[in-house]
């Protein structure tokens, strides 16, 4: 196994490559979602000036929610990568539901602040 800038190479036996690539696509989807939520926060803070401080606070709340989504995606990506390397897999049903619930509550808080 040679080493390159992307990490150690490993033999592609069975579905190893496909599973790791699927994990990477999911990771990128988490980041895309986080960036979208954060971008919405920036847009609200920037383009709702008639709301004053409420728009800025709401925007900051949404930026924080976007960061939470990206951090969770990173943690999940690393955990699944380790699980795939060891040949086991544990679905993250609780963590995914908890993260989604927290982000929804934070987004609703941002809407309430904006109103």
For residue range 20-32, what is the model confidence (pLDDT) as tens digits? 899 999 999 999 9
Q: Which of 58, 99, 55 is nearest to 76 (CA)?
A: 99
Please report the pLDDT score of residue 1 as a whole number: 47
Token digits of residue 19: 């599973």
Residue 4 in any domain: the answer is: no
pLDDT at residue 28 in the model: 94
- C-alpha 22/C-alpha 40 separation (Å) is 27
Task: Flag whether 5 is in a domain.
Answer: no
Verdict on whether the full-model pTM lies above 0.85: no
Give the pLDDT of residue 87. 82
The total number of structural domains that make up the chain: 1
Q: Give, rounded to a whole angstrom, the gap between the first and last alpha carbons of the chain.
A: 58
CB 79 within 8 A of CB 96: no
Q: Find out whether 76 and 98 touch, Cβ atoms under 8 Å.
A: no
- Taking only the tens place, the pLDDT of each residue in 105-114 is 988 888 888 7
33-88 pLDDT tens trace: 999 999 989 988 888 767 788 888 888 888 999 999 999 999 999 999 988 888 88
Q: Which domain holds residue 23?
A: 15-114
């Amino acid at each position: 196994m040679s080493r390159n800038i992307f990490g150690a190479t490993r033999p592609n036996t069975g579905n190893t490559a496909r599973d790791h690539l699927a994990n990477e696509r999911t990771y990128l989807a988490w980041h895309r979602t986080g960036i979208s939520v954060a971008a919405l926060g920036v847009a609200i803070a920037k383009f709702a000036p008639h709301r004053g401080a409420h728009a800025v606070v709401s925007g900051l709340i949404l930026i924080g929610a976007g960061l939470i989504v990206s951090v969770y995606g990173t943690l999940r990506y690393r955990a699944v990568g380790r699980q795939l390397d060891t040949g086991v897999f544990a679905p993250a049903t609780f963590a995914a539901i908890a993260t989604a619930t927290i982000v929804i509550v934070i987004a609703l808080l941002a809407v309430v602040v904006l109103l």
